[in-house]
Amino acid sequence: MERLKLITLLLIIWSVIFASSCTSAELTCDISLIKATLAIINQEKNTQKALKMITPCAEQGDSASQIALSLVYGQEPRKKQLEDIEKALFWSEKATAHGGIVALYERGLAIAHLGSNMERATFEARLSALDWYHKAAEWGHPHALFKIGVHLKRYTPDKTAAYTFLTLAKRRINPSFNYYEFLDYYLKDLRESRALSKERVAEAIRLADIWERNHPDAAKSWPSDDWLENMKGEGAKQIPVMKTPPTSKSFCDVFGKIMLYCPQYSEQETTEVKMKALRPGYVKKN
The region of weakest confidence among 80-84, 240-244, 247-251, 276-280 is: 276-280
259 band by pLDDT with thresholds 50, 70 and 90: confident
Q: What is the pLDDT of residue 79?
A: 66
Of 125-129, 181-185, 271-275, highest mean pLDDT:
181-185
For residue 78, name the pLDDT band (cuts at 50, 70, 90).
Answer: low
Q: Are 277 and 259 in contact (CB under 8 A)?
A: no
Higher pLDDT, 60 or 1: 60
Burial call 125-152: b when 16+ CB within 10 Å, e when fewer = bbbbbbbbbbbbbbbbbbbbbbbbbbbb
Q: What is the mean pLDDT of residues 274-279?
A: 47
d(CA 126, CA 134) in angstroms, rounded, equals 12
Report the 3 state secondary structure along the chain: CHHHHHHHHHHHHHHHHHHHHHHHHHCCCCHHHHHHHHHHHHHHCCHHHHHHHHHHHHHHCCHHHHHHHHHHHHCCHHHCCHHHHHHHHHHHHHHCCCCHHHHHHHHHHHHHHHHHHCCCCHHHHHHHHHHHHHHHHCCCCHHHHHHHHHHHHHHCCCHHHHHHHHHHHHCCCCCCCCCHHHHHHHHHHHHHCCCCCHHHHHHHHHHHHHHHHHCCCCCCCCCCCCHHHHHHCHHHHHCCCCCCCCCCCCHHHHHCCCCCCCHHHCCCCCHHHHHHHHCCCCCCCC
pLDDT of residue 24: 43
pLDDT at 264: 82
Q: Which residue has the higher pLDDT, 81 or 234?
A: 234
For 19-33, 55-69, 263-277, which range has the lowest pLDDT when averaged over its residues?
263-277
Tell whether the model's pLDDT for residue 179 goes beyond 60. Answer: yes
**Is the model more confident about 49 or about 113?**
49
The share of the chain scoring above pLDDT 90, in percent, equals: 64
- Rounded mean pLDDT, 44-55: 92
Counting residues of the chain whose pLDDT is more than 70, the rounded percentage is 79
- Give 182-214 pLDDT, tens digit per residue: 999 999 999 998 889 999 999 999 999 999 999
pLDDT at 275: 47
Mean pLDDT of the chain: 84
| pLDDT tens figures, 94-126 | 999 999 999 999 999 999 888 655 545 477 888
Inform me whether the pLDDT recorded for 77 exceeds 50.
yes
- Residues 138-176 pLDDT 10s: 999 999 999 999 999 998 888 999 999 999 999 999 999
